[in-house]
Structure 1
Amino acid sequence: MPFHQRKTLTQFLIEERRRFPDARGDFNALILDVATACKQIARGVAFGALGGMHGSADGAINVQGETQQKLDVLSNQAFIRVSEWGGSLAGMASEEMEQPYQIPAPYPRGKYLLVFDPLDGSSNIDVNVSVGSIFSILRAPEGTGEGGRDVTDTDFLQAGREQVAAGYALYGPTTMLVLTVGNGVHGFTLDPNLYDFMLTHPDMRVPEETQEFAINASNSRFWEPPIRQYVSECLAGKSGSRGKDFNMRWIASMVAEAHRILMRGGVFMYPRDTKDLTKPGRLRLLYEANPIGFIMEQAGGRASTGREPILDVQPTSLHQRIGVVFGSRSEVERIERYHHELPGAELPNPLFNERSLFRLSA
């Protein structure tokens, strides 16, 4: 598409708003605030060591028990400072904060909640691998917002299908913002000259057929039988029951994994396992699994726990963890079928015998 025919993010949002004559401008304003935060983070990531942004933040530990990187702190502050003053939000919640963030008294409160992972994959920063930000927008319950009470954890505990918008920014060779407002998925590339997001990938769709899967194979000894079965079939290649060869990918950056799958198909698995029985999964439901799940389903893919759709799960806590499988619909449905058919049985398979790289522990 010629440059002069490309829409800016602002133009795109105005056109979307026209479909709803009664809509106010605060929703669009909130998304543009989020986009501004992502631009600020992109600049910090791009400068890297030149800006003194590499390394941990003086040994700081976040609520997840993870070491905070300097860019984790910068990114969290960018989301807060850009979004708190505009009057669109009743409150915010972040991976980096134990409690919800209250909109300061001098600022008006609005009717939305913003939930975000300010910098996903931050452990990759020092090795220059793509990282990103993930966000979700929910409606605030009655009684919050203008003249209302402070928000509580419970206000954010909404199933993924209640999201009104979700998206992510990917800070890679180019900076991209991928967004859904419930009408498909659209990708915007940051123009480094205008410093504006331009629509470059309208109506993104997850390819139905795939020959790629992503999983951390070092955890194979902790996997449940359905995941072992699926991975073994992929590894068996053309000689196995699937009749085709698969490639395995693992970036350790959920945003990068999701973007690859949106662009060329595949399936991502970070399933529930037995490594730590106190955690029913590794990824966080509200600000990782739900927004990515919303994007996948809006793009024709599927997102699941392995047992049920991610978007149907009722959250029980702000930082709840969950097992996640998403990507090309047919592959995710196959994994779900294995969970329902083979919930507890060990499966005989030649790839998991005594010679297998994924041999079961005695």
Structure 2
Amino acid sequence: MTDRNPYSPDAPIPARLRPAMEALGRVGRDLSRRIARGPLGGQLAATVGDNADGDRQKALDVMADEAFATELKGSGVRWYASEEQETVAEIDPAGPLALAIDPLDGSSNIETNVSIGTIFSIREADEDGAASFLRPGHEQIAAGYIIYGPQCMMLVTFGDGVQDYILDPETGLFTLVNSALTISQESTEFAINASNYRHWPQPVRAYIDDCLAGAEGPRARNFNMRWIASLVAETHRILARGGLFLYPGDARPGYAMGRLRMVYECAPIAMLVEQAQGHATDGTTRILDKIPDSLHARTPFVFGSATKVDRVGAYFDLPEQEVSALFGNRGLFRV
């Protein structure tokens, strides 16, 4: 490493959070270099087991988790909650902070050279480790992600707007490029896995049908669909140019609450999105008002440009017979 402090001198990071943020930045910088080497850095995409939630773990998942847990020792983080671990770990008994993390989001894309990332959330520590995280998301004091793509970037909020950093490969420092990033309201892009269309609730199908009907449909404009299957990459595109992301609950066994985890995926992304003047809900309820009932609790997730998220909510607010009528009249995929 070129420096123990991975940030440029102008980085406006609160003093009490600086040790934890510096630890996150150092590991992110190292991971960026390792990921950039691809197979030269080892078999990063090799399956090595299952995580606490039953998902397949890749070698890089485990490497990232171990690296963050190790580097965060002595940084003021008492409780460490990871997607890769079943329970909360205590790493600094005197620390005032609790950190939740998805160490390597989108790891199924490692071998395809698609952008992947790290998602993190910081809260005040409770005496009980799990209780520190089983609280509404609006109690977060910081949230962000690191994206490992053509550029390595970190987007973070401390509750006063969204800061945008880029890792300068020449200096090895995360350099601030935008201190007040906001989401555009004008985009005509939406992201959803359309292969699950037949399983979605009718309000979601009606909304997507209206988008796909294009300029001739009720929205009177053409839309583009995107789907990367990496939450960090989807979020980064929306923060950069607006749009909408949907991962609804659906009728498949085990998918009633979607597949995204509230504590270390949805809550931190929701905080970022709201701080960038967007909205984030489960379709009807604000994500930051929800209280998870377990460390690995899931939730449906809809976020992006505020007007678009609100429009999705309007479909859920319609009486069932009206939604059924919409779907019956506009269902483009019906046979």
TM norm structure 1: 0.87
**Could you tell me which amino acid in structure 1 is paired with residue 143 of structure 2?**
A
After TM superposition, give the deviation of residue 152 of structure 1 in Å: 3.0
SS of equivalent to 1:32: helix
Q: Which runs of 4+ in 1 moved over 3 A?
A: 7-10, 342-345, 347-351
Distance 1:313 1:55 in 2: 34
After TM superposition, give the deviation of residue 26 of structure 1 in Å: 3.3
1:43 aligns with 2:22: no
After TM superposition, give the deviation of residue 109 of structure 1 in Å: 2.3
CA deviation string 1:273-296 (max 9, x = no partner): 111256412100000000000000
Give unpaired runs (5+ residues) of structure 2.
1-5
Tell me which residue corresponds to 2:3: none
Mapping 1:197-216, distance limit 5 Å: 197-216=174-193
**Could you tell me which amino acid in structure 2 is paired with residue 93 of structure 1?**
A
Q: Could you tell which deviates more after superposition, 271-280 or 184-193?
A: 271-280
Distance 2:190 2:295 in 1: 29
CA deviation string 1:167-206 (max 9, x = no partner): 0001000100001000100110001011010011221110
Distance 1:305 1:32 in 2: 32
After TM superposition, give the deviation of residue 158 of structure 1 in Å: 1.3
Give unpaired runs (5+ residues) of structure 1.
1-6, 18-24, 145-150
The count of aligned residue pairs is 328
**Could you tell me which amino acid in structure 2 is paired with residue 245 of structure 1?**
N
After TM superposition, give the deviation of residue 343 of structure 1 in Å: 4.9
**Could you tell me which amino acid in structure 1 is paired with residue 150 of structure 2?**
P
SS of equivalent to 2:10: helix
1:53 aligns with 2:43: yes
After TM superposition, give the deviation of residue 53 of structure 1 in Å: 3.3
Mapping 1:247-326, distance limit 5 Å: 247-277=224-254, 279-326=256-303
**Could you tell me which amino acid in structure 2 is paired with residue 267 of structure 1?**
L
When residues 10 and 30 of structure 1 are mapped into structure 2, their CA distance, relative to the original with a 3 A threshold, is farther
Tell me which residue corresponds to 1:3: none
Q: Is the 8 A contact 2:249 2:255 kept in 1?
A: no
Aligned Cα RMSD in Å? 1.7
After TM superposition, give the deviation of residue 314 of structure 1 in Å: 1.1
| Counterpart among 56, 77, 102 of residue 66 in structure 2 | 77
Distance 1:204 1:252 in 2: 24
Larger Cα-atom Rg: 1
Q: Is the 8 A contact 1:45 1:53 kept in 2?
A: no
When residues 8 and 152 of structure 1 are mapped into structure 2, their CA distance, relative to the original with a 3 A threshold, is closer
Q: State percent identity of aligned pairs.
A: 42
Distance 1:285 1:30 in 2: 21
**Could you tell me which amino acid in structure 1 is paired with residue 36 of structure 2?**
A
After TM superposition, give the deviation of residue 299 of structure 1 in Å: 0.2
When residues 9 and 178 of structure 1 are mapped into structure 2, their CA distance, relative to the original with a 3 A threshold, is farther
CA deviation string 1:200-251 (max 9, x = no partner): 1221110012200000000000111110111011100000111110000000
Q: Is the 8 A contact 1:214 1:267 kept in 2?
A: yes
Mapping 1:121-160, distance limit 5 Å: 121-141=106-126, 144=127, 151-160=128-137
